[in-house]
């Protein structure tokens, strides 16, 4: 297995952890704020957390894909909306792993080309 796939799968795992935590926090905000009619605002971060979860699963299953770099970026937005510092730290690590995966894939392609 190429190193770029390993980095992408680790990044996918970090995205899954972060999106699960962000989803739980979004549900908490929805339940806590529904009485004052602003709880529905946190449906947007909840939906984005589900999208990031899907991107994380795809990255974990498929390995390196260029479009999976969008996952950590979306997850950072969700973490900031949820005031989730723990999730934001995971997102920074996942973004670094995904960027490393892209750079590593470029190196692997250059090595194959000669």
pLDDT in tens, 66-88: 898 999 999 999 999 889 999 99
112 lies in some domain: no
User: What's the domain count of the chain?
Assistant: 1
In this structure, of 16-20, 32-36, 91-95, the range with the lowest mean pLDDT score is: 32-36
Cβ pair 109, 101 in contact under 8 A:
no
Host domain of residue 96:
3-106
Entry pTM = 0.87
Question: For the chain, what is the largest distance between any 2 Cα atoms, rounded to a whole number of angstroms?
Answer: 64
111 lies in some domain: no
113 lies in some domain: no
Local confidence band at 51 (pLDDT 50, 70, 90 cut-offs): very high
Provide the H-helix boundaries in 1-114: 3-33, 43-62, 70-81, 85-113
pLDDT over threshold 90, residue 114: no
31 lies in some domain: yes
DSSP letter for 63, please. -
According to the model, what pLDDT value does residue 30 have? 84
Among residues 29, 78, 86, 24, the alpha carbon closest in space to that of 52 is found at 78
Give phi and psi for 2, each to the nearest 5. -65, 155
According to the model, what pLDDT value does residue 89 have? 93
């Amino acid at each position: 297995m190429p190193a770029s796939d390993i980095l992408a799968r680790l990044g996918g795992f970090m995205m899954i952890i972060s999106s699960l935590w962000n989803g739980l926090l979004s549900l908490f905000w929805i339940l806590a704020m529904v009485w004052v009619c602003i709880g529905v605002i946190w449906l947007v971060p909840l939906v984005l957390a589900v999208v990031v979860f899907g991107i994380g699963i795809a990255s974990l299953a498929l390995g390196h894909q260029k479009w999976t770099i969008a996952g950590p970026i979306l997850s950072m937005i969700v973490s900031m909306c949820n005031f989730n510092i723990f999730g934001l730290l995971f997102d920074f690590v996942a973004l670094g792993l995904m960027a490393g995966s892209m750079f590593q894939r470029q190196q692997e392609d250059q090595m194959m080309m000669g």
